[in-house]
Chain A
Amino acid sequence: GEDVEQSLFLSVREGDSSVINCTYTDSSSTYLYWYKQEPGAGLQLLTYIFSNMDMKQDQRLTVLLNKKDKHLSLRIADTQTGDSAIYFCAVSRPGNTPLVFGKGTRLSVIA
């Protein structure tokens, strides 16, 4: 089945850019998502990209997709302390299919 991998930890200084990486195995994954989870909270949809796109930008967030390498990244510009959270990559195939999540990357922002 599909496997989604992420590095577990990332530490950046406030004001720097953060880049969180994700790889997946199923080339038929069509929808790719980034969710944010703050401590004790639920999963907040941050952004998503379709597999026919290479890049999507939404304010401070940039998603890059390399479909050939099955590699997805989330770049957060001007990272703030409020961005400290766990970021989950999730992918799905078309239709009524479940999301497959990575283990999440814990982003720590140092003031």
Chain B
Amino acid sequence: EPEVTQTPSHQVTQMGQEVILRCVPISNHLYFYWYRQILGQKVEFLVSFYNNEISEKSEIFDDQFSVERPDGSNFTLKIRSTKLEDSAMYFCASREGQYTDTQYFGPGTRLTVL
């Protein structure tokens, strides 16, 4: 069964460093999302992406964050200058299309900022 994949599974970085989290959505899906989950807290929406542009973003998704679909398969989340509070599990999700609203999630990348 097709699934969303994410790499790396765990990333450790120093505060102020840039990180890029990678996702490969399900191949025929058109809508892509990033969510994050700080340890013990709710899963929070960051950004949605469709047709090579951001559809919607939350207050969390400030200028330090960016997303890109550099080729036909990858979907990336970049954090330009990481802060301690960026430590969280980051989930990528994808959705097939206009008439299918179910979002399928990847296994997540655990980001630890030291």
Contact = CB atoms under 8 A, between A and B. Distances in A.
Interface of A: 30-31, 33, 35, 41-45, 48, 88, 90, 92, 94-104
Contacts, number: 53
B21 to A, nearest CB: 13
A3 B58 CA distance: 15
A23 B106 CA distance: 26
Contacts of A98: 33, 35, 45, 48, 56, 58
B55 A96 contact: yes
Nearest to A99: B103
Contacts of A96: 31, 48, 50, 55-56, 95
B103 A104 contact: no
Contacts of B105: 35, 42-45
A97 B102 contact: no
A43 B91 CA distance: 8
Contacts of A95: 101
A78 B73 CA distance: 41
Contact of A31 (B58, B102, B107): B102
